[in-house]
Structure 1
Amino acid sequence: MIPSVQVSVIQNPGASSAQVVPAVMRVIRNLETEFPGIKFEVAYDNAHFVDILFDNVWHELILAVILTAIAVMFFLGEWRGTLIALVTLPTSLALAVLMMVPFGMTFNSGTLIGLLLSIGRLVDDSIIDIHAVERHLRMGKDPKTATIDGIAEVRLAVIASTLMIVIALAPLLFAGGITQMMFRELVWPLIFGLLASMLVSFTLTALLCANLLRHEEARDADRRHPVLRWIYLLVDPFQRLLDRLERGYGRSLRWALGNRFINLCRVLATLILGLAFYYFIGSEMMPLADTGQAVGFLEMEPGTSFAGTEAAVKKLEAIMLKHPELEKASIEVGAETMFESWTPFFTGYQMPQVNGAAMMLTFSDKDKRKRTIFQLMDTIRAEALRTIPGIRRLQIKEMGSDVMATAAAPIHVNVYGPDLQELDRLGRETLQVAEKMPEMFQPGRTWTLGLPDYRIQADPQRAQEVGLSPAAIAQQAYYALRGGLTNEFWRAPNLRQNTILVRYEQEDRARLEDVESLYVTTPDGRQILLKSVARVERASAPTAIEHDGLKRVIGVTGYYRIGSLPSMDVVMNLVANTYGGSKKLGVEPVNFPPGYGMEMRGDMTQMMDSFRRLLTGLALSLVLMYLVLVVQFRGFLQPLQMIASLPLELSGVFIALWLAGQAFSTVSILGIIVLTGMDITTAVLLIDMIMRTRDTRAASRRTADAPQTAMDAGRAESAPGRPPSVVERDEAIIEACPQRLRPILMTAGITLVVMLPVALAPKTGLDAYQPLATAVVGGLLMGTILSLYDIPIMHTYVDDFLRWLHRTFLGREYVWKHPETDDQPTPPGPAGPEEAPARA
């Protein structure tokens, strides 16, 4: 590292790093050509991380498409349906990207993750359509008729399932605060993908199904094809497995319907067990991410000269260069101007003063090194504190891949009170507590007493004798110590406006004797020593005076690490140990006088606000989804069984986070919101098929003018004590649900295939979304499996409740009736009292 002049180029908020950085590099190359003596080196390049992120996300997108194609082939079991899905998937993706254009959106980490999340759903609508058309083809219909009837059968279910997820996500777009900033560009592409998938299923999927899908005879010919034959050798065993699963699911569902109380106890036990895991996973604002970039701040003891700071920085540079993982470093040694205390640093951190330095570090991609960025930062800091004397504070923070990338320390508590001396004591003792906590990394406090402060007390009588006022003495002393600017002047040949800072050299004002020996000028032009007209005292002043809520505060900050306690738990432990002490750590309680106290800041306040906004959005989503389901199912009770099944997904989420060693965060809540829409989709598919089957059976019963079919009558006789209508309901459930098993498993399987790489081994730039993928994987696994049983059982409870309402308040029995015959008179029969309107 060599001394240099740093030039920072900051792009406009709406600009793209991928376009700005190459343009800047072209200008730099032109300058090097024009001025051969100038050498430019890039110390920090935002495009470095952007390029890595884009490569990794595009890799995940391509991998997701390939895995989706393989999954579709295995689930559908024939190449024609797979071809349809492979055509509709990129079409939906392209349409979603096209929808982003009017909104001025660009490709970034948020939008690309949104598109990645949508892949599992982009083929969902087409898969449901294909499966429905194939079922009608097996009935002997021609392809066009099967396409019309099959897609018409599931059209409302497809619309409802898409709207469920859109409604679940929409409140996040208007949540406000940092929550909206974090998730806006992720949610929009996801919504666009869902809408594009629905539009493609309306049009392109139907067209392809009518022209490509064939009866079994044509498929037998495909199996004799020399290339396709090998594919079917791999696919057919999986198809036979799915057939066995459907039959086994029907048998297990029959048992579950006959043992509803046992299943209800199992649901409650699962819910309680899953929620209990919440207390073992902790909470944080955003997950830590290893992006390979870090920002640091070095502060020497107050009063350290510029030369002393520079010497310490050179030692720090030598320590950093020992690590081959470091690719670039830019260290800016403290400013020595009259503006040193307030000039802003371009990252958002304060410009270092004469005793400080700011640094930007770039490490190699995490896939190319064995140590994480956190291990490197802690190793560098530990060696620096051990070998470099005079360091008051050294903190190095990773730059994440989200909106919190340049935020301050995640762990931050403010000690408030009126007196600076007392605040300094409380801050020092609180820091001592933090330093003994093993889960607290790089603790520090925001300011300290000890800044050299010269207090000049003028002697009024002596000053009057020489013709000086106290104000004149103070002004001359100020200019000597802090400096003053000359008048502006123009300098040829470029006629630039210039000014000069005039003040004593630092070595001429470093000691008390130097200050006393300063000369002041009297009105008659004589120069006399400052100590002849004033008394100079040296005192200690705070390095900064901070206020929070109109109260003086001192902050104690720190960081946490992956594998240790998350930020919220660390803050709570710090507060508890400060107020109550800890025998385990060997610390006594800090004594807070009246008027002094501690408040939590940092991630804690952001976290509480974000959690509140996200949970409010989730509650609003549930209300809106319920209203949409009421419209679709023409009743208020049927949708309740779908909403009531949602808490079960939380068990899977919390257990998955605990197994993965991840904390509950804002992205986890986003995963729960996405899961909510997915689980509602499963419920919609099951209930829609159950109701259609019951409608068909009711219509058949009325056509035959009989209370039940002969087959169901036989079953009713074998189930003493159960009304025939209950037996018919259960048989309709057992008949309907296995028909929806394959598309439900297919949708869940594709989503799992897409999310598992992000959940298990995320690449650079995707770290921050790992808990989202983990939440989706865990919630989807448990939610899908449980919903296959719990939704039908909840349907029977709702049905029983309707029967009770009819008997209690209407005095007649409840019978399911086909909606097309609800308003038509029913012919009299032996079961006349049962023939009341049934749809709730």
Structure 2
Amino acid sequence: MVQPNHAKSARERFNISKLAIEFSWLTVSFWIAVVVAGLLAFSSLKYALFPDITFPVVVVNAQAPLSTALDTEAKLTKPLEESLKSLEGLEDIRSSTYPGQTAVSLSFVVGTNLETSKNNTEKALKQLTLPKGASYKIIPLNLNESAAVSYAIESSGRNLADLQKLTKDKIIPAIAQLPGVLKVSLLGDGNVAPPSTNPTGLPAVGTLIRFNGKEALAIQVIKKGNANTLEVVSRVEKEIQKLRSNLKDVTLSLASTQAEYIQKATHSTIDALIEAIILSVVVIFPFLWNWQATLISALAIPISLLGTFIVMAIYGFNLETITLLALALVIGSIVDDAIVDVENIMRHVENGSTPRQAAFIATKEIGLTVTAATFTAVAVFLPIGFMGGVIGQFFKPFGITVSAAMLTSLLVARTLSPVLAIYWLKPTPPRSPQRTSQLWAKFDLAYRDLLAWSLKHRRIVVGLGMISLIVGIVTIPLIPKGFIPKLDRGEFNIIYTAPLPSLPPGLEPGAQAGQVGQAGQEKQGGEGDTIERNQNNSVAASVLASSSQIQLPNPLNDSLQVAKKLEEVVRKSPAVETVFATVGSREGEPNKGTLYVKLKQDRNIKTAEFQDQLRSSLPTLSGVTTSVEDIQFVDTGSQKTLQLALRGNDLDSLNKTAKAIKEKIEDQPGFVDVTVTGESNQQGKFLHVERLNGQRVAYIGANLGQNLSLGEATDKITAEAKALMPADATLDLGGDSAYQSEVFGSFGITLGLSALCIIVVLIWLFKSWVDPIVIGISLPLALVGALLALLLTKSDFGMISLIGFVFLLGIANKNAILIVDCINQLRDSGLEKTEAILKAGPIRLRPIMMTTAATILGMVPIALGLGAGSELRSPMAVAIAGGLVSSTILSLVVVPVVYAILDDWFPRQKVTGNR
């Protein structure tokens, strides 16, 4: 195995410890400054559930005096799509067309400036010639401008009209002026507002609100896009407390908010982080039996974290699930570098050197090793920080946070740890039998004997390594595939759609204004007669609304009856704490409604189990569709967990096929809340046309029961769809299935890039291509344990566990680097290859066992899956812990054997001189 003579300069080049020791006062001063700056940076960080991601969406709502959906599609929708399809950064273009109106939704690449996208849309439309009488409105949507908190407003002494006036005059103005609040919406005005009209041609009176079975009003606080949810909710709650004290006869009750879950999830992750720190520190002492050395190693954790907070503040990151998880996972790795350095110093002190001599000798020996291990880990994590798309934006904070923590810990280990060792460690006499653990001595000897046997039976060892790898690969199909684990949030929505009542004869949408009052006349008009959304009917509706002779049906009341029946069933459960019902929508859809259900904290049932039970007990109401939905982290639309987009040109064929697919999967266990678009379309009579990226489309959506994994469900629904699809149609995945495909694709590329980065860094550091191959053997060995751990714990193989795999890739090669570099140093000092291997193994056994134990114990609080949001954290920790176990056990034996084999094939040139 060839090793050129420049190794000495490499070892010198990475020995910054020499300078740190010589200028110890400067070293200590620098780290004191880092601690102070880190504390200031930490105080500026905000809490959140997930990273801030901008989903820029621009909607173009257009109307024209056209009577059918097909005519509107041809003359309005298609020209709009054609003029907008070339916009910069456009990712998807979707449209919904009804007679006389269309809504075109433009989704831009994550991170695109929303204002720029809106301006570009305006410029493109100014050049478009629309049909006579057509108009349009451009609506930019910042999906981060979401509802932060809602409060129900009730009073036993005031009627709803008085309560509404009080809310408008005193409550809303007090909250609207708070920092971070975009607007405050009044809900429940349907009970007191005069009738108005909406695009359905029916009278609309806003929304109705029910809270725990009683009529009420409510306010909904919408936060600004760049505002922090927890900060906004905290300010609102303080203002609500003041209002409660001033308005004695009014009850203001918290109706819904994501803030509670965000607080619980972040606090649980912080608890896991603290527990990881404690366990990582506790494990060091039994190995070193020296409290000063333990303290020096342990100090690396808080100082490295404070240094990381500085980087997080510079990048504008929050303390949220992903960054906190990154910090919790990296705790064991942070302490690794310090452990290796301090353990090596301790070994020389125990062998008779003074602490100062030991610090110089040990840091020179270990410098290249520690640097190589950290640089290869950073080479893995940095590509994650620069992945593209939603997934890249989601995990950019993870990659950069982990990289910052590891680089900071390397600096601590190479500078502060040896300086503290000089002043804190005491010279010791040679270890007596009392100080040396007999158990450890036996373990040391047993390992040396195993290593000697392995070197004599190389084929058996390599064969066992190959078998273990094959076993790991074979388990892959047995592991359930998912996207993001289902969370036990204790809250969810029930969304329903009720049928709209028919207008009296002569007043259906499509009727002329002159026909108003001609009840009983034969209906006139074309295909648009029965469409639910036609703004051309506003004249008829307005006239009729003011007529005292004709009673117009009120869909809001019908919708209210549906909400009451659903609410009655939900509130019977002892696990339910509150039900907040919103009947109708502010977008003028009175037949739709949402029931926000909050479960009790001390319930004995998981959210997913309760949802499954509820689906089977909800009443079946004629014409009413209900869907039990999880709370979305970011409201990116109404996509369900599983969604198929069936694309083609023949609307009849698309609708027929979509309905057939729905009927097929409704009968299969695990598929729930199945819906299709275009159900109102009849043979040759189209009331509604959906389009995706310039093609007609029918969407089939479904949620999943708790016993059906996303991967299995996707395979089933895709197989059913392909069997029924017409020849001229194509199939696209949507919802979480699409994200899952994107995740596996992105991570496949990232893993490949990370592996390449590892090899490049190792070749650069070791100036040899053979040593990196030996070290690289440890990587597939780590995946074996990770896959088996996921299988045994029944954890999903999805986005979260994949991050664990990448993390594992970054830290698994540390052990191999320690062994290989020690073997090389011993051979350079004059030892023969086998002798060097047999000596290097036991020398590095203690730091390897220490670092592995520290990292695995640091994972335990996360892997146990305790506290809010644990479903997100657990799969990652399980994969890492399992991988570390297998890679440590196998690399302690397999790596030295592979080293010996490759050295036989490519003999290494001895390096002379002091390394």
Amino acid at match of 1:358: T
Structure 1 residues 179 and 685, CA gap change in structure 2 (3 angstroms)? same
- Pairing 1:360–2:592 present: no
Residue 673 of structure 2 corresponds to which residue in structure 1?
Answer: 442
Q: Is the 8 A contact 1:399 1:406 kept in 2?
A: no
Tell me how far apart the structure 2 counterparts of residues 757 and 32 of structure 1 sit (CA, whole Å).
41
> How far off is 1:26 after superposition?
2.4
Tell me the SS of whatever aligns to 2:227: coil
> How far off is 1:298 after superposition?
1.0
Tell me how far apart the structure 1 counterparts of residues 598 and 411 of structure 2 sit (CA, whole Å).
44
- Pairing 1:687–2:820 present: yes
Residue 193 of structure 1 corresponds to which residue in structure 2?
Answer: 405
Tell me how far apart the structure 2 counterparts of residues 756 and 5 of structure 1 sit (CA, whole Å).
47
Amino acid at match of 1:294: F
Within-5 A mapping of 1:100-249 = 100-217=312-429, 239-249=437-447
Q: Is the 8 A contact 1:409 1:557 kept in 2?
A: yes
Tell me the SS of whatever aligns to 1:820: coil
Amino acid at match of 1:379: Q
For residues 382-426 of structure 1, give each alpha carbon's deviation from its aligned partner in whole angstroms, at most 9, with x where no partner exists.
211xx24225422222236x6699873221112333344443332
Q: Is the 8 A contact 1:413 1:571 kept in 2?
A: no
Tell me how far apart the structure 2 counterparts of residues 93 and 194 of structure 1 sit (CA, whole Å).
10
Tell me how far apart the structure 2 counterparts of residues 640 and 382 of structure 1 sit (CA, whole Å).
57
Tell me how far apart the structure 2 counterparts of residues 37 and 425 of structure 1 sit (CA, whole Å).
57
Within-5 A mapping of 1:510-549 = 542=687, 544-549=688-693
Within-5 A mapping of 1:72-111 = 72-111=284-323
Residue 379 of structure 1 corresponds to which residue in structure 2?
Answer: 613
Tell me how far apart the structure 2 counterparts of residues 781 and 792 of structure 1 sit (CA, whole Å).
17
> How far off is 1:821 after superposition?
8.6
Tell me the SS of whatever aligns to 1:44: strand
Q: Is the 8 A contact 2:640 2:702 kept in 1?
A: yes
Residue 237 of structure 2 corresponds to which residue in structure 1?
Answer: 25
- Pairing 1:55–2:267 present: yes
Gaps spanning 5+ residues in structure 1: where? 224-231, 341-352, 454-538, 581-589, 699-727, 804-814, 823-840
For residues 440-467 of structure 1, give each alpha carbon's deviation from its aligned partner in whole angstroms, at most 9, with x where no partner exists.
233222441179x9xxxxxxxxxxxxxx
- Pairing 1:309–2:452 present: no
Which segment is superposed worse, 354-363 or 248-257? 354-363
For residues 65-84 of structure 1, give each alpha carbon's deviation from its aligned partner in whole angstroms, at most 9, with x where no partner exists.
22122211222223222222
Tell me how far apart the structure 2 counterparts of residues 248 and 371 of structure 1 sit (CA, whole Å).
49
- Pairing 1:425–2:558 present: no
Structure 1 residues 793 and 175, CA gap change in structure 2 (3 angstroms)? same
For residues 112-166 of structure 1, give each alpha carbon's deviation from its aligned partner in whole angstroms, at most 9, with x where no partner exists.
1111111111211111011101111122111111122112211111111111111
Tell me the SS of whatever aligns to 2:646: strand
- Pairing 1:408–2:658 present: no
Residue 646 of structure 1 corresponds to which residue in structure 2?
Answer: 779
- Pairing 1:749–2:892 present: no
Tell me how far apart the structure 2 counterparts of residues 262 and 447 of structure 1 sit (CA, whole Å).
63
In the alignment, which of 875, 892, 896 is matched to residue 771 of structure 1? 875
Q: Is the 8 A contact 1:281 1:657 kept in 2?
A: yes
Gaps spanning 5+ residues in structure 2: where? 1-210, 503-554
Within-5 A mapping of 1:430-829 = 430-449=661-680, 542=687, 544-562=688-706, 564-580=707-723, 590=724, 592-697=725-830, 728-803=832-907, 816-820=909-913
Tell me how far apart the structure 2 counterparts of residues 407 and 166 of structure 1 sit (CA, whole Å).
38
Tell me how far apart the structure 2 counterparts of residues 640 and 404 of structure 1 sit (CA, whole Å).
46
Tell me how far apart the structure 1 counterparts of residues 574 and 616 of structure 2 sit (CA, whole Å).
17
Structure 1 residues 399 and 331, CA gap change in structure 2 (3 angstroms)? same
Q: Is the 8 A contact 2:583 2:594 kept in 1?
A: yes
Tell me how far apart the structure 1 counterparts of residues 791 and 296 of structure 2 sit (CA, whole Å).
39
Tell me the SS of whatever aligns to 2:572: coil
Tell me how far apart the structure 1 counterparts of residues 905 and 224 of structure 2 sit (CA, whole Å).
61
Tell me how far apart the structure 1 counterparts of residues 885 and 784 of structure 2 sit (CA, whole Å).
10
Q: Is the 8 A contact 2:563 2:595 kept in 1?
A: no
Amino acid at match of 1:309: S
Tell me the SS of whatever aligns to 1:294: strand
Residue 44 of structure 1 corresponds to which residue in structure 2?
Answer: 256
Structure 1 residues 37 and 419, CA gap change in structure 2 (3 angstroms)? farther
Q: Is the 8 A contact 1:125 1:198 kept in 2?
A: yes
Question: Alpha carbon RMSD of aligned pairs, Å?
Answer: 2.7
Q: Is the 8 A contact 1:424 1:449 kept in 2?
A: no
Tell me the SS of whatever aligns to 2:830: helix
> How far off is 1:428 after superposition?
2.0
Q: Is the 8 A contact 2:338 2:417 kept in 1?
A: yes
> How far off is 1:35 after superposition?
5.1
In the alignment, which of 381, 398, 403 is matched to residue 630 of structure 2? 398
Which segment is superposed worse, 313-322 or 641-650? 641-650
Amino acid at match of 1:268: M
Tell me how far apart the structure 2 counterparts of residues 48 and 795 of structure 1 sit (CA, whole Å).
54
Tell me how far apart the structure 1 counterparts of residues 894 and 708 of structure 2 sit (CA, whole Å).
36
Tell me how far apart the structure 1 counterparts of residues 638 and 784 of structure 2 sit (CA, whole Å).
32
Tell me how far apart the structure 2 counterparts of residues 6 and 422 of structure 1 sit (CA, whole Å).
45
Q: TM-score, normalised by structure 2?
A: 0.67
Q: Is the 8 A contact 2:480 2:794 kept in 1?
A: no
Tell me how far apart the structure 2 counterparts of residues 361 and 647 of structure 1 sit (CA, whole Å).
46
Q: Is the 8 A contact 1:302 1:450 kept in 2?
A: no
Q: How many residues align?
A: 651
Structure showing greater Rg: 1
Residue 459 of structure 1 corresponds to which residue in structure 2?
Answer: none
> How far off is 1:662 after superposition?
1.8
Tell me how far apart the structure 2 counterparts of residues 128 and 407 of structure 1 sit (CA, whole Å).
52
Tell me how far apart the structure 2 counterparts of residues 753 and 399 of structure 1 sit (CA, whole Å).
33
> How far off is 1:24 after superposition?
1.2
Q: Is the 8 A contact 1:690 1:733 kept in 2?
A: yes
> How far off is 1:37 after superposition?
5.4
Tell me how far apart the structure 2 counterparts of residues 391 and 240 of structure 1 sit (CA, whole Å).
77
Q: TM-score, normalised by structure 1?
A: 0.73
Tell me how far apart the structure 2 counterparts of residues 242 and 8 of structure 1 sit (CA, whole Å).
64
For residues 553-610 of structure 1, give each alpha carbon's deviation from its aligned partner in whole angstroms, at most 9, with x where no partner exists.
2222122344x34212211111213444xxxxxxxxx3x4443454322222222222
Tell me how far apart the structure 1 counterparts of residues 418 and 493 of structure 2 sit (CA, whole Å).
54
Tell me the SS of whatever aligns to 2:447: helix
Residue 502 of structure 1 corresponds to which residue in structure 2?
Answer: none
Q: Is the 8 A contact 2:582 2:594 kept in 1?
A: yes
Structure 1 residues 41 and 446, CA gap change in structure 2 (3 angstroms)? farther
Q: Is the 8 A contact 1:694 1:816 kept in 2?
A: no
Tell me how far apart the structure 2 counterparts of residues 608 and 36 of structure 1 sit (CA, whole Å).
55
- Pairing 1:327–2:557 present: no
> How far off is 1:29 after superposition?
3.4
Tell me how far apart the structure 2 counterparts of residues 155 and 447 of structure 1 sit (CA, whole Å).
67
Q: Is the 8 A contact 1:303 1:355 kept in 2?
A: no
Residue 467 of structure 1 corresponds to which residue in structure 2?
Answer: none
Q: Is the 8 A contact 1:651 1:782 kept in 2?
A: yes
> How far off is 1:217 after superposition?
4.3
> How far off is 1:180 after superposition?
1.5
Tell me the SS of whatever aligns to 2:360: helix
Tell me the SS of whatever aligns to 1:3: strand
Q: Is the 8 A contact 1:293 1:360 kept in 2?
A: yes
Tell me how far apart the structure 2 counterparts of residues 432 and 551 of structure 1 sit (CA, whole Å).
24
Amino acid at match of 2:475: F
